[in-house]
Structure 1
Amino acid sequence: MSAKAIGYNRPSHAAYFALTIATLALIINFWAWSLLSPLGARYASELSLNPLSLSLLLAVPVIVGSLGRILLGIITDKFGGRIVFAVTCLLAMIPVIALAFSDTYSQLILVAIFLGIGGAAFVVGIPFVSAWFPPEKRGLVLGIYSMGNTGTAVSGFLTPRLDGAIGRQWTYYLVASLLFVMAIVFIVWGRNAPGWKPPKGSSFKRFASAAKSRITWDLATVYVITFGAFVAFGVYLPVLLKVSYGLSLTDAASRAAGFVLLATLARPVGGWLADKVGGKHVIRIVLIAVVVLAMFVALQPTLQLRTTIAYLSLAFALGCGNGAVFALVGKLSKPDIMGSVTGIVGACGGLGGFLPPLILGFTYQKTHSYSIALMMLALGALTAFFYINKRFQDLSTYKAR
């Protein structure tokens, strides 16, 4: 139930508090989800991992976090965001602590599976935050919430530095402690929107309704490209920059963190633009931009200013696309199935980020170049553009959106 529906002319202070704690919780969960990526090169050196083995290790949390979004979306529709966010933070602590005691490849793979909990947390906040705000504000608001993805950038920037300053174990203990704090915040001060009640009927029927919606799969198609590429670059860009341009691990991780940060900051811009000019127009422009920019970086130019601008422009485009997708989710989804819709769309986007790191590792192992994998991104974005452009024209629901 939206803030408008329950009688608010404008969002209350409680609404903005809910937005704030949800965003902070997402930042910490995404930090936990992304702990392996900034240290990937060090683990590869310590355990003598080949590029494909490292790619698999980095990809495991992505696929688990993606599939977990479906389940968490269903659970959030049933129990509400407050309790689900608290429990998710507590569960995400376990693999983070276990990571401190993992020193073999098999142990890391096992822990990586459960690190996916942090990545699944994203879907909890979409219905939780949406319920506090009227539809005309949801694009911007959900874009702000989605800035919780900066947890990936925080991980890229802080994790290698903390590893050097206080050691790997204490770095993991710190992240686990922050997750515990956020769980307490939700338990003690968190509230669902006024008037929220658990929906009646079967959770399976609500999920089936979301799964049958054409809107769900149209937006999932776009999100596979925009969020999938965002996740893939967030996970693999430190390795790509280190290998392609000879950067130090810290420098490569910092540049990758900048990519993730810009993409995340662009999400509310995409949401705001979707509110103003329509999400479908934003998505069209984004996909064309991804095609052009991915083709340019696929040429693997020398690390000059134009290369940096190209990568940052790609980050901005992906972020705007992500924001526009969930602006449409917030506007077009029924409140009682919004968690399920978010779960499906989010899962597809996350799965879109699972294969690219593997492809990057495999193609580099075979060709000593990342060009083929980057050209595949351009081809995927072009295919998505032609598909979704036709869907926007055919589906009356998208009119004036």
Structure 2
Amino acid sequence: MSTEKFNIFAFHGKMKVMHLSWMAFFITFVVWFNAAPLMTVIADSIGLTTAQIKTLLILNVALTIPARIIIGMVTDKYGPRLTYSALLAICSIPCFMFAVADSFEQLAIARFLLGFIGAGFVIGIRIVSEWFPAKELGTAEGIYGGWGNFGSAAAAFTLPAVALAFGGENGWRYAIGITGAMSLLFSFVYYFNVTDTPKGSTYFKPKKAGGLEVTSKKDFALLIVMKVPMYATLALLAWKLSPTGVAMLTETMTLAIYVGLLLVFLFDVFQTYQVNKQIFVAEVPEFERYEFKQVAVLNIMYFTTFGSELAVVSMLPLFFAETFALGMAQAGMVASSYAFMNLMSRPGGGWLSDKCGRKTTLLILTAGLAVGYFMVAQIDSSWGLSLAIVVVMACSFFVQSGEGAVFAAVPLIKRRLTGQIAGMTGAYGNVGAVFYLTVYSMVSTQTFFYVIATSAVFGFMTLFFMSEPKGHIAEINEEGKVTLISVS
């Protein structure tokens, strides 16, 4: 483990790895969200209907849920250096496909495949945890997550200007293509400039591939239960694309997806059993155990934090436009104040976790998150615009700080499984987004914010089941030697 001091302006050793990792994450979010700010121009160029635009937005997140699980497994097995580089290079292909598409069907296929790049976040969580000691990990993961997550806001601000600079109705194609080129080029930069661990450190891999390891029969049952919402969310996305929703799929195709999801779920359960079948015949040694309830609580917390952020970012411009009679451009600028807080809030949440403890920080931030959304629900046209912006920014501080605090704890559960745990927790953020956006489509805006606040209260209650990470994680290297890794 590097003993280099934590100097955010340094660009060598562990700081170089952190900076290059947040840059990789930043680029994945630029690519993932490159269509949203250009959608009006794209719609005019291709001749898209409102239903087709909504379909593209749904497809953009559809693949990210399973992708984060898969990328977590691949990261733990092959290492973050190779995985991040490969993801950036491979996902540039559907990005270029989207840039040259001239029909809705081509756009839809490319957008669906581009959902995979949204899994890049998971990879950096593992590599940062390898390079930074436990006492600095929250701050480092917060900087990685906050600065990388800012890629979505950067795309919203810069890509329309890039498209305009190229001019004509095809300017958007150049803007999208440039993001693909960035992704491809940075894949080489990343591969040749980072290593999975500091020199002399061991990279611990899962004992078995194909599923998350647990260490008791009770944890196995809880793991299966926690898988259900992810498959249910994919079924919900299929329903949105069915004739009942935006009618992209036929009834036969929709039914086939439902059956396919059920079969994949059953296979997933079987595969998970195969990975963990030893726990049904013998007890795992005490020093190797970890509690899966830690993962479950963090899943619920990310459902509430990142899930609500994705949902609110999607609807906030329209909320400001309707509430304060603003133009969409002005409303978008005002609403971006929510996303801008990522630069400070997420690192702030990680820093607080390092100083005050993981559980205590999450309790405080979750309580603030619940109060924040309750206050946002009170905003109406009688409020001054400035006061509304302040309340929204205060709420976003607790939301994004909570995200930083969640991933300050994730790497401290079981080192060799960090990618898979981060993948599952990250997937729950997307599950939350789909859930909240579905609620938003069915209820008033005020009720929508009340639902988020209520779910935050539920998350607050689950935190009492969480144990503060302390002591050491025991890992066994390829020679069979036990290594103790500090988590406090």
Please indicate the TM-score interval, normalised by the length of the shorter structure. Answer: 0.7 to 0.9
Once the two structures are superposed, the pairs formed by residues 1-400 of structure 1 within 5 Å of their partners are 3=1, 8=3, 10=5, 13-40=12-39, 47-49=48-50, 54-147=53-146, 148-166=148-166, 167-193=171-197, 194=199, 195-197=201-203, 199=205, 201-204=207-210, 206-208=212-214, 211=223, 213-302=292-381, 304-330=385-411, 332-363=412-443, 369-388=444-463, 390-392=464-466, 395=467
Change (3 A) 1:248 1:386: same
Is the CA contact 2:24–2:190 (under 8 Å) kept in the aligned structure 1? no
- Measured in 2, the distance between the counterparts of 1:207 and 1:163 equals 47
- Measured in 1, the distance between the counterparts of 2:59 and 2:319 equals 18
The one-letter amino acid of 2:407's match is F
Q: Which deviations, in whole Å up to 9, do the C-alpha atoms of 1:43-85 show, x marking residues without a partner?
A: 56752315xx655532332342232111101100011111101
Change (3 A) 1:173 1:142: same
- Measured in 2, the distance between the counterparts of 1:65 and 1:131 equals 24
Deviation at 1:279, TM superposition (A): 1.9
SS in 1 for 2:91: helix
Change (3 A) 1:245 1:191: same
- Measured in 2, the distance between the counterparts of 1:280 and 1:136 equals 15
Change (3 A) 1:151 1:300: same
Is the CA contact 2:309–2:433 (under 8 Å) kept in the aligned structure 1? yes
Is the CA contact 2:358–2:468 (under 8 Å) kept in the aligned structure 1? no
Compute the TM-score of the two structures, normalised by the length of structure 1: 0.87
Compute the TM-score of the two structures, normalised by the length of structure 2: 0.73
Deviation at 1:358, TM superposition (A): 3.5
Is the CA contact 2:206–2:417 (under 8 Å) kept in the aligned structure 1? no
Deviation at 1:219, TM superposition (A): 0.6
The count of aligned residue pairs is: 385
Change (3 A) 1:322 1:299: same
SS in 1 for 2:100: coil
Return 300-309 or 194-203, whichever deviates more.
Answer: 194-203
- Measured in 2, the distance between the counterparts of 1:200 and 1:277 equals 31
- Measured in 1, the distance between the counterparts of 2:321 and 2:162 equals 20
SS in 2 for 1:121: helix
SS in 2 for 1:144: helix
**Any unmatched runs of 5+ in structure 2?**
224-290, 472-486
Change (3 A) 1:273 1:161: same
Change (3 A) 1:205 1:383: closer
SS in 2 for 1:131: helix
Alignment RMSD: 2.6
- Measured in 2, the distance between the counterparts of 1:59 and 1:240 equals 20
Q: Which deviations, in whole Å up to 9, do the C-alpha atoms of 1:30-53 show, x marking residues without a partner?
A: 011112322345556752315xx6
Percent identical across equivalent pairs?
A: 25
Change (3 A) 1:36 1:242: farther
- Measured in 2, the distance between the counterparts of 1:130 and 1:16 equals 12
Looking at CA atoms only, which structure, 1 or 2, has the larger radius of gyration?
2
- Measured in 1, the distance between the counterparts of 2:455 and 2:5 equals 40
Q: Which deviations, in whole Å up to 9, do the C-alpha atoms of 1:139-189 show, x marking residues without a partner?
A: 000111112000011112112232333210110011011111210102222
- Measured in 2, the distance between the counterparts of 1:41 and 1:376 equals 30
Change (3 A) 1:252 1:97: farther
- Measured in 1, the distance between the counterparts of 2:174 and 2:192 equals 27
**Any unmatched runs of 5+ in structure 1?**
364-368
